Amino acid sequence: MRLSEFWNLADAVFGASYSRTLARELALTGLDSLTPAEALEAGRAPRDVWHAWCEQMDVPLARRDGGDDRRMVPPPRR
């Protein structure tokens, strides 16, 4: 997943304004309490940050594509 795809998904799932606020302020327990923005800046893969963010916000797997079933979202790593 590219960084631009990450931000497009964030805007689609959480809303353009709210996604930026969440990215700066929401501590992700699955990523050592880093915010999504901090995790990306620290070099974490956008795919991993995306799924950690969605897990924290209880976004089901079926909605993580932002409502566009043509969009390919890599599955979470296990």
Written as six digits, the tokens of 43 are 């070099």
Residue 30, C-beta contacts closer than 8 angstroms, at least 6 positions apart: 52, 55, 56
The model carries a pTM of 0.90
Who wins on pLDDT, 34 or 68? 34
Q: What is the pLDDT of residues 2-16, one digit of tens each?
A: 999 999 999 999 999
User: Is residue 29's pLDDT more than 80?
Assistant: yes
Instruction: For residues 45 and 31, give the distance between their C-alpha atoms in angstroms, rounded to a whole number.
Output: 11
Q: Among the listed ranges 20-24, 55-59, 72-76, which one has the minimum average pLDDT value?
A: 72-76
DSSP 18-76: HHHHHHHH--BGGGTTB-HHHHHHTT--HHHHHHHHHHHTT--GGGTTTT-TTS--PPP
The residues spanned by each domain of the chain are 3-63
